[in-house]
């Protein structure tokens, strides 16, 4: 069986993309180990066979699936005998809601904090592309974003509040055991850890950092095993 995951790569073999971590962790949850193929920002042609240019892209024999949510649904439907990512249709709908929160809440709040750091760890040939696309997206320079880091960190606090509250109620977002909702949220923290030498959580964030430690330990320390900054261990 050929199982290949195309994912973003930065310098020192860093794998920062939160979307790709969603897929990696979903595969691990299903007990599947893909061959991970690195794709630089300027190498989107490598995944053009999928009909679009973003990663992650999963190839499972003759099936090609792009988009992290589509990959999670594909894995759930194709490997029903393996542990469930969603725990039924209601769980799938709730996971989709968490997906939207991760995309439009957490990731929106983290992007201006992390963009300057991603630029710093991008491979040299990707840096111009990354700067141009992100500055166009934000309407300001990476240096202007970096200068307002403290303001963006303050704004992150309330975005994390639903996660903080939920994690006072059970060890994982999805209950006693982790599932796709946890991977959606954790993938954003893994993004931060992969690129940023300063923790996005303050030292008094004990609930969130305890959960993050548990997530790093999952699957034999899968997320811990890659190049990252130890500040967010």
Ligand X SMILES: N[C@@H](CCC(=O)N[C@@H](CS)C(=O)NCC(=O)O)C(=O)O
Label residue 97 left, alpha or beta by phi (over 0 means left) and psi (-120 to 50 means alpha).
alpha
Judge whether 28 and 219 are in contact, CB under 8 Å: yes
* Nearest residue (CB) to ligand X, 3 versus 46: 46
Residue nearest to ligand X (CB): 54
Convert 195-220 to b/e letters by CB count within 10 Å (16 or more is b).
bbeebbbeeebebbbebbeebbebbe
Choose between 56 and 178: whose C-beta lies nearer to ligand X: 56
Contact indicator for 5, 27 with CB cutoff of 8 Å: yes
Contact 97, 14 (CB under 8 A): no
Minimum CB separation of residue 26 from ligand X in Å reads 11
- Which is nearer to ligand X, 7 or 167 (by Cβ)? 7
Q: Decide whether 167 or 196 has the Cβ nearer to ligand X.
A: 196
User: How many whole angstroms separate alpha carbon 137 and alpha carbon 144?
Assistant: 13
Q: Which is nearer to ligand X, 99 or 167 (CB)?
A: 99
Chain contacts with ligand X (rule: CB under 6 A) = 8, 17, 19, 41, 54-56, 67-69, 133
When the beta carbons of 6 and 211 are compared against ligand X, the nearer one is 6
Q: At its nearest, how many Å lie between ligand X and the CB of residue 148?
A: 22
| Cross-sheet strand order for the sheet of 3-8 | 35-39, 3-8, 57-60, 63-66
The minimum distance between CB 61 and ligand X, in angstroms, equals 21
CA 170 and chain centroid, separation? 22
Shortest spacing between CB 180 and ligand X, in angstroms: 12
Shortest CB 128 distance to ligand X, Å: 12
- Minimal distance, residue 150 CB to ligand X, in Å: 26
Q: How far is CA 70 from the centre of its chain?
A: 15
The number of CA neighbours under 13 Å toward the Cβ of 64 is: 9
Instruction: Kindly state the tokens that stand for 140.
Output: 């300001």
């Amino acid at each position: 069986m050929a199982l290949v995951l195309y994912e973003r790569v930065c310098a020192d073999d860093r794998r920062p993309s939160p979307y790709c971590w969603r897929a990696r962790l979903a595969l691990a949850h299903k007990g599947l180990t893909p061959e991970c193929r690195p794709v630089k920002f300027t190498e989107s042609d490598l995944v053009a066979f999928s009909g679009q240019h973003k990663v992650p892209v999963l190839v499972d024999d003759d099936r090609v699936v792009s988009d992290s949510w589509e990959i999670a649904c594909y894995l759930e439907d194709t490997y029903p005998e393996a542990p469930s990512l969603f725990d039924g249709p209601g769980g799938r709908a709730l996971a989709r809601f968490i997906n939207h929160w991760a995309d439009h809440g957490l990731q929106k709040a983290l992007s201006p904090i992390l963009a300057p750091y991603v630029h710093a760890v991008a491979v040299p040939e990707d840096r111009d592309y990354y700067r141009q696309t992100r500055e166009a997206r934000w309407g300001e320079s990476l240096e202007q974003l970096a200068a307002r880091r403290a303001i963006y960190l303050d704004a992150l606090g309330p975005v994390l509040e639903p996660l903080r509250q939920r994690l006072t109620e059970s060890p994982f977002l999805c209950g006693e055991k982790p599932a796709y909702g946890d991977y959606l949220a954790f993938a954003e923290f893994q993004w931060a850890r992969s690129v940023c030498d300063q923790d996005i959580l303050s030292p008094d964030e004990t609930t969130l950092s305890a959960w993050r430690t548990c997530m790093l330990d999952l699957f034999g320390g899968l997320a811990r095993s890659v190049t990252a900054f130890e500040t967010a261990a």
